[in-house]
Amino acid sequence: MKLSRSDKGALVAFMLPAILMMLMFFVIPVIYVVAVSFMKWNGISAPAFNDIRNFALLFKDKAFTRSVINNVIWALVAGFIQVPLAMVMAILLSNKPKGWKFFRTVYFFPQVISGIALATLWRAIYSADNGLLNGLLRVIGLGDLARDWLGDIHTAFPSVLIYWVFYVGYYMVIMMADISTIDSSYYEAATIDGASRFQQAIYITIPLIKKTSLLTCVTLASVMGLRQFEQVYMLTNGQPANTTSTIVLYMYKKMQDANYGMASASAVILIIVGVAFIVTIRKIFEGREHD
């Protein structure tokens, strides 16, 4: 059906605010960051073209390469451990066991708390001197395992990562909403055929949410993993020895040093890694769909 001139005008009028906002808050800033990534600039003096030296310096910097590795690990754990945990909880609670509304609220509650507040709480839990974790280990006779969890080079990054993985409420609620739209006749037919709840989840629920909420949650979680900042900044500030650093934290420190060229170059690398992750995730899901 061809649109009339008035319809086209109305379409443009409706789309124009979104297009302008996209240009102002995404396209232009990205172009600006890419341009600055090739400059040597302290934010005050005139920027000078620096060729690709900023990128060369980035990959010579062990702190940056460690940050990239940490972000990749974080994104993988978020997409392929945190989201599956959320999916399991969503499937269990969608069966509406006794007290399911209470547990749904409990699991979602951390999502309404500031990430800074949660990081402060876990900093106290991990405290070497009077932290809850070390105190609990001593009480149950495992005092030899007590340590400075955030100060030990071997435990700092796992400690920062592990606690965050179990905050699954956000993705759980998204998948519960999707599961609620599945026609109940599928489950009724499966029940008549003798399928267990587990088989129904494997052969009905997961395939029907895979291309919708599950794909969305894996993408969102991976992106969240790639742009981690608050938790790491509050818990360790990237220490010890940059073992917990992330790309955004590295970028922040370069901006504090007034090295906007390298900060922008690290932002460009983050964009590239993010796009690669999103494309890969979609390819994985599309590949499984074809199989």
Residue 288 has pLDDT above 60, yes or no: no
- Rounded mean pLDDT of the chain? 91
Q: What is the pLDDT of residues 78-127, one digit of tens each?
A: 999 999 999 999 999 999 999 999 999 999 998 888 888 999 999 999 99
Per DSSP, helices labelled H in the chain are 5-22, 28-36, 53-60, 62-77, 83-94, 100-108, 115-125, 132-139, 156-165, 169-179, 184-192, 197-200, 206-209, 215-226, 230-235, 247-256, 260-290
pTM, full prediction: 0.88
Alpha carbon distance 57, 269 (integer Å): 13
pLDDT of residue 13: 83
Task: Quote the CA–CA distance of 71 and 273 in Å, as a whole number.
Answer: 9
pLDDT at 5 over 80: no
Q: What pLDDT, on a 0 to 100 scale, did the predictor assign at position 37? A: 94
Domain 61-290 classification at class level: mainly alpha
pLDDT tens-digit map of 146-200: 999 999 999 999 999 988 888 999 999 999 999 999 999 999 999 999 999 999 9
- What pLDDT does 276 receive? 93
Angle made by CA atoms 245, 81, 199, in degrees to the nearest 5: 175
- Quote the CA–CA distance of 266 and 247 in Å, as a whole number: 7
Asked if the peptide bond before residue 207 counts as cis, ω within 30 degrees of 0, the response is no
- Give the sign of the dihedral formed by CA 131, CA 133, CA 136, CA 137: negative
Handedness of CA 125, 67, 263, 274 (dihedral sign): negative
Domain locations in the chain?
61-290
Q: Which two tokens stand for residue 241?
A: 């020895």
d(CA 280, CA 76): 12
Does residue 209 register a pLDDT over 70? yes
Closest listed residue to residue 245, CA positions, set 27, 70, 124: 70
Under 8 Å CB-to-CB from 164, ≥6 apart: which residues?
82, 231
8 A C-beta contact, residue 270 and residue 226: yes
Say whether pLDDT at 30 is over 90.
yes
CB of 24 within 8 A of CB of 226?
no
Residues in Cβ contact with 107 at an 8 Å cutoff, skipping those fewer than 6 apart: 89, 168, 169, 172
Q: Which of 106, 85, 94 is nearest to 181 (CA)?
A: 94
Sign of the four-CA dihedral 68, 73, 77, 79: positive
* pLDDT higher than 60, residue 289: no
Whole-number CA gyration radius for the chain: 24
What pLDDT digit, counting tens, does each position of 232-278 carry?
999 999 999 999 999 999 999 999 999 999 999 999 999 999 999 99
**What does the pLDDT read at residue 166?**
87
Number of residues that this document lists for the chain: 291
Buried b (16+ CB within 10 A) or exposed e, 75-95: bebbbeebbbebbebbbbbbe
At 208 the three-state DSSP class reads helix
